[in-house]
Amino acid sequence: MHKPSTKETESTSIRNWDSYYLNALMDYLPDVIFFKDRESRFIRINKAMAEKFGLSGPEEAIGKTDRDFFKFDHADDAFDDEQEVMRTGQPIIDKEEVETWPNKPSNWVSTTKLPLRNDQGEIIGTFGISRDISLRKLYEASMLKRVDALTNPAVGDESVSFEALFDLASFQRFQDEFSNATGVACITTRPDGTPLTNPSNFTRFCQCLVRETEKGKANCFKSDACLGAPNPKGPTIQPCLSGGLWDAGASIIVGGQHIASWLIGQVRDETQTDDSIRAYAREIGVEEDLLLSAFNEVPSMSHAKFLQVAKWLYTVVSQLSLSAYQNLMQARHIAERQVVEKALQESEERLKELVANKDKFFSIIAHDLKTPFNCILGYSDLLVVKVQQEEFGLVKEYTERIRQASLQSMNLLGNLLEWSRSQTGRIAFVPQCIDLVCLVDSVMDLMADTASQKGVELKSELLSPVMVNVDEAMLGTVLRNLVSNAIKFTKAGGMIRLSAEMRDT
C-alpha cells in the first residue's frame, strides 16, 4: 500500500484549507458571488445571492441565467458584459448599474466581473462579486439635489430656499428645544407667512381656536408676515394682529436674500383685558367664554423678560444666517471645483486619445514611407550604375519611377500635415467649383505605380466633366486615402473602380 509522502500530505492540507476559505466566503459574505460558464449560465453562487433570488439554496441556480431572475434589459446587458470579458480577457471593475426585477423594485449595485480560467490558462467562463449600493445612491442623489438647489437656482429666481440650506427635521428639534427652554411658542415661516415648521408649544388659544377660523387664520398669517420682515437692527416686537398676544420675530437672511422668519410669542401681560378678548371672540366668530378660558391659560411674561428672549432669538438667527451663507459659498465652491475637475478629466482623456492617435498615425506613416523611399533609393542606385556604364536605355523608366515614389512620399507627408492642422483646429475650409474628373485623374496618376507594383488595376469611370463645389485639398486627401486603403486591401489581380453619381439633396 502506498504511504503518502510528507509533500503529498502538505499539498492535501493546503487544498483543504483553500476549500475551507472559499466556502467561508461563499457562506458568510453579504455581497453576492457568482461563477458562470461561457454561455453565462450559473455554475455556482453563494448564499447571499440565493437569498437575493428567493431560492432555498445556491444549487437551485445551477444551469440558469440572469434571464431567469432579472428583467430582460438588465439580463441582456449583463450577458453582453460577460461575453466581452471572455472575448478580451479584460475585467470589469466596480461598474455601477441598476438591477431590474420582474416582481420587486430596482436597486443599484457595484459589480466586478473577471475571466475564469482553467489550469491551462484558457478562459472557460466568468466570475464576479456584486455589492448593493442603493443607500449610497439615495444619499448621493439627495446631496446632489441640495447642491443643485444652492448652485443652480431657477431661471429668473436668484434666491435659494430654506429647505436647500437646512435640514427641516434637525431645525424642528432645535426650534422645539428653544421653545422649551424659553417658555415661548415658536414657528418658522416663509417670507409670506406660510409655515415651514410645525408649531412648538402653541397655546390652545391660538392653535385650537383663533387659527381654526378663517378670519383668525388670515390675521395670524398677516401678523407673521409683518413680524418676519427683515430688520437689520434687531428683533421685531409687537402685539399679534390676531388676539393681541405679544410676539416677536427675526429674519434668516442668506446672501442678502430673506429666506425665512423665526417667530416667537403667544405670551400675555397686564395690558390685555377680558373685554378686549370677548370683543375679538365676537369678531372672529368664537364663543366668548371659550376663548376667554383659553386666554387665561396663555403663559404670562413681563415685557422686560420677553424683550430679553427676543434679543436672544435675534442672536441665534444671526448666527444661523452666517452659517447658512458659509455653507452656500462652500457648496458653490465645491460645484465650481467639480466642474473644473470634470473639464480637466475630459481634457486628460482627450489628450490621451490624441497621443494614441498620433502614435498610430506616425506608425502608419513611417511604415508607408518605407516603400517609396526604398524605391527612390533603389532606382537611384540603379540610375547611378547605368549612367556610369553609359547605358541610358532604362534611365527614363528609372527616373519616372523615382518621380512616382517622390510624389507618393509627398502625398504621405501632405496627409501628415493635414492631420496636424486638424488636431490644432487650423485647417481651413475653402470651397470652390472644380472638375471632379481632373481631381480623380490626378489621384489615379499618383497611385498608379503603387497599384502596378501590387498587381492591382485602377480604373476611373468618370468620363465627362463633373463640376462640384468642394474644398479641393480636403477632397483630394480623402480620395488619396480611399485609393491607398483600397490598394492595400485588394488582392493581386483585382481592380479598383472610382465612380460618382448625382443624388437629390
Residue range(s) of every CATH 3.30.450.20 domain in the chain: 17-137
Distance CA 120, CA 428 (A): 56
Residue range(s) of every CATH 3.30.565.10 domain in the chain: 429-505
Whether residue 165 is predicted with pLDDT greater than 60 in this model: the reply is: yes
Query: What band does 156 get if pLDDT is binned at 50, 70 and 90?
Result: very low
| pLDDT for the residue 185 | 93
Distance CA 206, CA 185 (A): 10
Comparing 30 with 9, the larger pLDDT belongs to 30
- Residue of 333, 202, 317, 207 lying closest to 258 (CA atoms): 317
Are 317 and 253 in contact by the 8 Å Cβ rule? The answer is: no
| Cα torsion angle, 441, 447, 449, 454, sign | negative
Radius of gyration, alpha carbons of the chain = 42
Are 124 and 117 in contact by the 8 Å Cβ rule? The answer is: yes
Mean pLDDT of 479-495: 87
* Single-letter code of the amino acid located at 268: R
For 429-505, CATH number out of 3.30.930.10, 3.30.1490.20, 3.30.565.10, 3.40.50.920 equals 3.30.565.10
Q: Lowest mean pLDDT: which of 46-50, 63-67, 210-214?
A: 210-214
Query: What band does 499 get if pLDDT is binned at 50, 70 and 90?
Result: confident
Are 61 and 50 in contact by the 8 Å Cβ rule? The answer is: yes
439 to 189, 482, 495: CA distances (angstroms): 77, 13, 20
| pLDDT for the residue 150 | 54
- Which range, 136-140, 309-313, 448-452, 483-487, is most confident? 309-313
Q: Which fold has domain 163-301?
A: Beta-Lactamase (3.30.450)
Whether residue 370 is predicted with pLDDT greater than 70 in this model: the reply is: no
Domain 17-137 is of which CATH architecture?
2-Layer Sandwich (3.30)
Are 41 and 122 in contact by the 8 Å Cβ rule? The answer is: no
| pLDDT for the residue 108 | 95
| pLDDT for the residue 157 | 44
Q: What is the mean pLDDT of the chain?
A: 82
Whether residue 442 is predicted with pLDDT greater than 70 in this model: the reply is: yes
